[in-house]
Chain A
Amino acid sequence: MKRLLKSLTRLFPRGFRDRFGEELLDQIEQDYDDARMRGLGAAAWTTLATAADLARSAAAERLRPTWSSHRTEWESGMRSTLNDWMTDLRYAGRSLRRSPGFAVITIGTLALAIGATAGMFSVVDTVLLNPLPYGSVDRLVAIRASAPGSDMPAEFGVSDEFFIQYKEQSKLLEDLSTTNSFTSTARLDDRVERIRMSWPTNSLFSTLGVKPILGRLPVAADEENAVVLSHRMWMSWFNGDRNVLGRTLQASGSTRTIVGVMGPEFRFPNEETMLWLSSELRADRITSPGQFGTTLIGRVKPGVSTQALASELTALSKALPRRFGGNATYAQTIEKHRAVVRTFRDETLGAVSRPLWVLLGAAGVVLLIACANVANLFLVRAEGRQRDLAVRRAIGAGRRNLIWSQMSESVVVACAAAIGAVALAGVSLPAFLRAAPTGIPRLGDVKLNAATAVFTVLLALVCALACGLIPALRASSPDLSRLGDGSRSVTRGRGWTRDVLVVGQTALALVLLIGSGLLVRSFWALKHVDPGYTTENIFSFQIAPEGPSLRTPEAFARFDLDFMRRLRALPGVESVGLVDNLPLNEGTSGSRFRAEGSGTSADAGPRVNFTFSAGDYFKAMGIKVLRGRTFDESDHTTTLGSVIVSKAAANLLWPGQDAIGKRVQMNGSDVWQTVVGVVNDVLQDDFRDAPQPLVYYPLVVAGRPNWAVSSPAYVVKTRRADVIAPEVRALAKAVAPTAPMYRVYTMEGLAKHSLARLSFTMLTLGIASSLALILGAVGLYGVLSYIVAQRTREIGVRMALGAEATRVRRMIVAQGARVIAIGVVIGIAVAFVSTRALSSLLFGVKALDATTFVGMSSSMILVGLLASYLPARRASRVDPIESLRGD
């Protein structure tokens, strides 16, 4: 405390400190000691009061020194300049207070724009600019695969044998690990929850260059018995207990010993990951190659490019069939295989960086428009002061002096705006973050920090400069001839600065309008995509029941059928069904299938996804049954071998034929399944994708005794979808007391969620563009109003000479129209180039969509004309006598 106070004495000027420093310190010490004897409260109060007093008197001493014996020439020069500046600022503050309307509009406009920009900056700074919390991030890469010309997806995850091969033989890789993420049950005593887990190779930690804050990392000797906790898990399940090491917990069905705890910043592969299970991948454990789907994370040696690594890995993969075997399809896939290597930064931030930069850009554009607007207002204000400035110039005020005294108003406005902006950002940032879609890494860490504060201050200074400099420069060379004439003369000629500003505003506003127009159209298109099912009035959840009686698919089926019967009995429930992978929530797994009589072997057939369903799933979800029937209870209790296929699967397996009664076989099984029904396609993952072919199995499948559907998603069709959760929870608790209920959704919520990223960007850009439109219109209105005011006399003369009101109106509107037209042309040109930045967000509309371009340009022109019409109408009502009376 004392040290803080003592350091504050350094605020005093040197001369003062030399003379009084020692005594100051002495008194501060005595004051503090006296107060301390009276208690802590008194000490705290004294500290505060003394600190405030020191700061205040030091500032006062610097501005109006009392101690003058040691003042240097330079210091006094500085001081007088500073004094002049302060006087100017005080004067500016006073004069702003005299025109509150101007102050409120300029400060409000800038605060809004600076606040939005600063808020977006803090998001971009935290999410994108902050270095990722791993060692030498620039050497980390993500490795996936492609096989152009095969029937594999454009890009897919590798399989385990790739990892072995790369790890052993790559000369460019320093370290390599697998990564994955799944939801499973964790159990500690009687706490049971479904949580996000990861089961990477132990090398994950060394690859990323991270260390635990407690304990150690898993090693090969741990086999599959160790677990590393995330900081979140450590805090929420163990209260941060440091004796957690060595304790055991059940995770994903096995008992594991806690060996380490990671720091709070380590959240990999996603924010929700709660723990990492130990595992070691060995070559001798790979029995069937080609189980694709794993993303590898690698660390390259210094100076290795992604291209160099990709070609090395592509070459290495060619030896895989020779080493690990596999069938002919696998060999063909490998033949066409090309490694896909991406920087780790692109992999983790690539998807979110584009929208975030677009939003920051939009905020920046709004800020530019706001600056142009405010600059315009300052120009108008300076215009009104020409006479006053001419007087000051005439009596010897220097040019720099005049510039500064003009700038000082914009400095005051910008500073006030910056304070307002920080307050605004502080209030609106949390709301903004709540509205943001999930899955943006580190979004939870976003807050107003020092970087944002510095950014805001810099922004405010730039704004002050931008808004004040042009008016100040113009004001600094006032027309001395104005001294002689009356104050109501016509001013012409210098309006071009204002026109340029309005042209710029119009152009920028149009760019934002077109951008948000494109997003609105995409959103509209996505919203009207038919996903193949309805989303209204559907409640969904999962439970993962466990118990000694639940071992076989039949047992699970009996449990599910019974549970669904009870769910159906709940009040207001129309139908109940279940599915293993709920659309929009989970992807489905895929396999190769062959149709009977197709002549190919099963491992060479087309890739089709599969899932399981029971009850009135199709009815509840509103999925149309196109042919045949759906499963009945006997399909789930006995191995009848029925399957239902989607339209796309039927077309793929039996093009042009009726699929009912046809038989199909999955790769790796020797049992044939008979198609009993064909249902409509559904969009499983994303409204943007084309529907995938899908095979639905019943709960019990012949020849697959291990395929227990242990944690399906139950689908409940009811008008009470929003409120039924507690009743369902109670029922679930009754039938499976130890099974946590999780993934509780309404389908409507999921649909909204899947649109979230786009709707969020659209909404934000929409707000930005409406702001831009309003600011642009206000700017145009202001300029034209001003021109009308300036030309009142001229208009009066025209009207006295017989000009009609309509002609006068047309004249003013034409002036506005010219400015808007130029702005629109430039805006379209800029939008032509810049909307490409949005293309990854668009759906069902091209970046150069003519309708949007024309529509938005017309609305810009319309708003502009309206903004010109109002001053024009005023001009046409000028009374010639009134306007001429002044002279």
Chain B
Amino acid sequence: MNLLDGSGMSLLEYHVLLALASGPLHGYAIKDVVAAESSGTLTPRAGSLYRVIGRLMTAGLLVDTEPADAPAHPGLARKYYTLTARGRSMLADEARRLKQAAMMAEKRLGVARSRS
């Protein structure tokens, strides 16, 4: 399941986009935010994380930037990643879809519970 072959967005892709929605982050920070926001269910290892980042960049959902106001990091020229407009709208679409799916689930479970 990934964006490139149009089969929908994976959970990790969603969380990476979500992490960047509040502003540019560098790779390691993305990992931390993803871990925190998924309540620890997602702790992407380096290989998987950068593969997802690569995929999202190829799909035009993020770009790498070097913001002027970023805190200087000794010895490391860190790349920051920012959501593109397309990324922002894809995230919004996915969030809507997830919300609908979640509501549907709640409704059915609720119905199922009242029946039993």
A864 CB → nearest B CB, Å: 55
The reply to whether the CB of A68 lies closer than 8 angstroms to some CB of chain B is yes
The reply to whether the CB of A272 lies closer than 8 angstroms to some CB of chain B is no
Contact of A50 among B46, B58, B76 (CB under 8 A): B46
Most buried by A among B48, B50, B79: B50
Query: Can you show 12 pairs from A to B with CB atoms below 8 A apart?
Result: A23-B26, A27-B31, A27-B46, A27-B50, A50-B45, A50-B46, A54-B46, A64-B4, A66-B4, A66-B54, A68-B58, A69-B58
Contacts of B78 in A (CB 8 A): 23, 26
- Bound complex: CA of A53 vs CA of B52, how far in Å? 13
Does B58 contact A57, Cβ atoms closer than 8 Å? no
Does A66 contact B55, Cβ atoms closer than 8 Å? yes
Does B45 contact A31, Cβ atoms closer than 8 Å? yes
Most buried by A among B2, B48, B51, B53: B51
| Contact A26 B47, CB 8 Å, known A66-B58, A67-B57 | no
The reply to whether the CB of A20 lies closer than 8 angstroms to some CB of chain B is yes
Does B54 contact A28, Cβ atoms closer than 8 Å? no
Contacts of B46 in A (CB 8 A): 24, 27-28, 31, 50, 53-54
The reply to whether the CB of A328 lies closer than 8 angstroms to some CB of chain B is no
* B14-31 interface code vs A (CB 8 A; 1 in, 0 out): 000000000000111001
The reply to whether the CB of A487 lies closer than 8 angstroms to some CB of chain B is no
B42 CB → nearest A CB, Å: 13
Contacts of A23 in B (CB 8 A): 26-27, 50, 78-79
- Bound complex: CA of A30 vs CA of B45, how far in Å? 11
The reply to whether the CB of A16 lies closer than 8 angstroms to some CB of chain B is yes
Contacts of A777 in B (CB 8 A): none
- Bound complex: CA of A19 vs CA of B79, how far in Å? 10
Using CB atoms, name the residue of chain A closest to B56. Answer: A66
* A39-52 interface code vs B (CB 8 A; 1 in, 0 out): 00000000001100
Contact of B45 among A53, A67, A69 (CB under 8 A): A53
Using CB atoms, name the residue of chain A closest to B79. Answer: A23
The reply to whether the CB of A60 lies closer than 8 angstroms to some CB of chain B is yes
Does B47 contact A54, Cβ atoms closer than 8 Å? yes
Does B27 contact A56, Cβ atoms closer than 8 Å? no
Does A53 contact B54, Cβ atoms closer than 8 Å? no
- Show the binding face of A for B, using Cβ within 8 Å: 9, 12, 16, 19-20, 23-24, 26-28, 30-31, 49-50, 53-54, 56-58, 60-61, 64, 66-69
The reply to whether the CB of B49 lies closer than 8 angstroms to some CB of chain A is yes
- Bound complex: CA of A64 vs CA of B51, how far in Å? 11
Interchain pairs with CB closer than 8 A, number: 65
Contact of A26 among B4, B28, B45, B55 (CB under 8 A): B28
Using CB atoms, name the residue of chain B closest to A27. Answer: B46
Give how many B residues have a beta carbon under 8 Å from the other chain's beta carbons.
22
Contacts of A56 in B (CB 8 A): 47-48
Contacts of A31 in B (CB 8 A): 45-46
| Contact A61 B49, CB 8 Å, known A26-B27, A68-B58 | no
Does B48 contact A57, Cβ atoms closer than 8 Å? yes
Contact of A53 among B2, B28, B48, B53 (CB under 8 A): B48
**Shortest beta-carbon contacts, A-B, top 4:** A57-B47, A66-B55, A53-B45, A67-B54
B33 CB → nearest A CB, Å: 14
Given contacts A26-B28, A53-B46, 20 further A-B contacts (CB under 8 A): A16-B51, A20-B54, A23-B79, A26-B27, A26-B78, A27-B27, A27-B28, A27-B31, A27-B50, A31-B46, A53-B47, A56-B48, A61-B54, A64-B4, A66-B2, A66-B51, A66-B52, A66-B55, A67-B55, A68-B58
- Bound complex: CA of A50 vs CA of B50, how far in Å? 13
A42 CB → nearest B CB, Å: 13
Contacts of A50 in B (CB 8 A): 45-47
- Bound complex: CA of A308 vs CA of B76, how far in Å? 74
Using CB atoms, name the residue of chain A closest to B26. Answer: A23
Contacts of A53 in B (CB 8 A): 45-48
| Contact A27 B49, CB 8 Å, known A19-B54, A67-B54, A67-B57 | yes
- Bound complex: CA of A60 vs CA of B48, how far in Å? 10
Using CB atoms, name the residue of chain B closest to A69. Answer: B58
- Bound complex: CA of A242 vs CA of B77, how far in Å? 55
Contacts of A68 in B (CB 8 A): 58
Contacts of B58 in A (CB 8 A): 66-69
Contacts of A54 in B (CB 8 A): 45-47
Using CB atoms, name the residue of chain A closest to B4. Answer: A66
- Bound complex: CA of A56 vs CA of B45, how far in Å? 11
B45 CB → nearest A CB, Å: 4
Does B28 contact A20, Cβ atoms closer than 8 Å? no
Contacts of B55 in A (CB 8 A): 66-67
B28-69 interface (Cβ within 8 A of A): 28, 31, 45-55, 57-58
- Bound complex: CA of A68 vs CA of B54, how far in Å? 9
A49 CB → nearest B CB, Å: 6
Contacts of B45 in A (CB 8 A): 31, 49-50, 53-54
Using CB atoms, name the residue of chain B closest to A67. Answer: B54
- Bound complex: CA of A829 vs CA of B52, how far in Å? 66
Using CB atoms, name the residue of chain A closest to B77. Answer: A22
A46 CB → nearest B CB, Å: 8
Contacts of A67 in B (CB 8 A): 54-55, 57-58
Contacts of B51 in A (CB 8 A): 16, 57, 60-61, 66
Using CB atoms, name the residue of chain A closest to B49. Answer: A27
A604 CB → nearest B CB, Å: 89
Contact of A24 among B2, B26, B50, B57 (CB under 8 A): B50
- Bound complex: CA of A19 vs CA of B64, how far in Å? 11
A86 CB → nearest B CB, Å: 15
Contacts of B27 in A (CB 8 A): 23, 26-27
- Bound complex: CA of A24 vs CA of B45, how far in Å? 9
- Bound complex: CA of A61 vs CA of B54, how far in Å? 10
- Bound complex: CA of A735 vs CA of B54, how far in Å? 85
B63 CB → nearest A CB, Å: 12
